[in-house]
């Protein structure tokens, strides 16, 4: 299993339920890496998608406490349920609590690191200081809309 995330310099990922950054290069990478795959996400993340609906052309597994069905998605109430549904090729796409729950089951994390530190209220675990993770690959530093960013892949040690 993998995770994909866009972070600030202090590993922030969101504020008030919204992403911190909207970079077309990051969105294109996200689409390329998740299209046709199984994605795991929380119900609050799902609510931020257009019309609150699952992403097209992906198998969506949504963590929720609700017993209600979600049109176009499968529902999981526990980590064990999610893992059984997802298999090993799934990609975790957020939010913060889902990343924290499923990071121990991930072998790779694809990070877009933005070299800025806006205010954030949700965070991804800092893989630079995490003893179980190491950098596997770094892309070139790019710039878009005045923001510098870099694609960095982490792998479990």
Report the percentage of the chain scoring pLDDT > 90: 94
Q: What is the pTM of this model?
A: 0.95
Query: Model confidence over 87-139: pLDDT tens digits?
Result: 888 999 999 999 999 999 999 999 999 999 999 999 999 999 999 999 999 99
pLDDT at residue number 98: 97
Q: What is the mean pLDDT of residues 62-71?
A: 89
Q: Is 18 exposed, middle or buried (0-12, 13-18, 19+ CB in 10 A)?
A: exposed
Residue 112: name the closest of 75, 87, 147 by CA: 147
Q: What is the pLDDT of residue 65?
A: 87
């Amino acid at each position: 299993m993998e995770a994909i995330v866009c972070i600030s310099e202090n590993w922030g990922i969101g504020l008030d339920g919204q992403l911190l950054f909207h970079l077309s290069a990051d969105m294109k990478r996200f689409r390329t890496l998740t299209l046709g795959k199984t994605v795991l996400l929380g119900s609050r993340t799902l609510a931020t998608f257009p019309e609150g609906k699952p992403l097209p052309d992906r198998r969506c597994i949504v963590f929720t406490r609700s017993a209600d069905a979600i049109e176009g998605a499968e529902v999981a109430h526990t980590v064990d349920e999610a893992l059984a549904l997802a298999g090993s090729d799934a990609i975790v796409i957020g939010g913060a609590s889902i990343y924290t729950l499923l990071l121990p089951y991930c072998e790779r994390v694809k990070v877009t690191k933005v070299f800025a530190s806006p205010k954030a209220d949700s965070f991804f675990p800092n893989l630079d200081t995490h003893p179980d993770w190491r950098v596997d690959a770094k892309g070139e530093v790019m710039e878009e809309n005045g923001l510098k960013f870099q694609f960095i892949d982490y792998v479990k040690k």
